[in-house]
Amino acid sequence: MPAHQEWVENNNQYAATFGEKGALPLAPAKKLAIVTCMDARINVYAELGINEGDSHIIRNAGGCAKDALRSIIISQRLLGTREIAVFHHTDCGMLTFNTPQLRKLVKDSDPSNPALNAVDEIDFLEFNQLEQSVKDDVTYLKENPLVLAETTVTGWVYEVGTGKVRSFLRFSFSFISNFVAWSISNLFFIDPSGGINWDSGYAFLYHQSKLLA
């Protein structure tokens, strides 16, 4: 049965308990835009504890920042968001192919059709290293002149196998000073078994919730 045949009945139940959500303003309450993958296993609201009205959620294959730029500009300039969180995830399909392969797959599906050569104009923005892809997208946004300079940009990995998220934060003086202050005030000891890994200009924080507490 096609999926759409269930929608009317399902929606009747949803609309019956819609409550006050019809009064939510257009602009996101948390001034936040989340960029994440279209992967069917990801429930952004549930994994982060946010609700309708809180955040823009911009989804595409891979959660690629470059692909999301059009939406990010609208989000920032017209709807007031000032924070971007980039989420990539484990077991992402973007780790499994490259652009030449996909272009060939499309063209080989109907070699007699020259219109399919249009696929040669598309960069599918695949990546082969998950953590690096997050760092690259954070850097892309921080350095992009079309993104507001005051934007807070963070990078994250969502684990589809556990439901957990891990964050990457770019070094900055404010981050380091806040981290040191927090460490001293809490007698924080870095766990050598994997609590924190320092990696080429980024802090990879497994226990971000502690730092934000």
The verdict on 137 binding Zn ion (CB under 5 A) reads no
92 is in an annotated binding site: yes
The verdict on 39 binding Zn ion (CB under 5 A) reads yes
56 is in an annotated binding site: no
Strand 83-89 vs strand 32-37: parallel, antiparallel, or unpaired? parallel
The verdict on 92 binding Zn ion (CB under 5 A) reads yes
Per DSSP, the three-state class of 128 is coil
The verdict on 37 binding Zn ion (CB under 5 A) reads yes
Output the smallest distance, CB 60 to Zn ion, in A: 9
**What does the DSSP 8-state code read for residue 142?**
H
Looking at the Cβ atoms of 21 and 41, the one nearer to Zn ion is: 41
Distance CA 87, CA 65 (A): 10
Output the smallest distance, CB 159 to Zn ion, in A: 12
Q: Name the burial class of residue 5, with classes exposed (0-12), middle (13-18) and buried (19+) by CB atoms within 10 angstroms of its CB.
A: exposed
Number of chain residues interacting with Zn ion (CB under 5 A): 3
- 19 sits in which H/E element: none
Distance CA 44, CA 145 (A): 28
Site of interaction with Zn ion (CB under 5 A) = 37, 39, 92
Residues belonging to the binding site for Zn(2+) are 37, 39, 89, 92
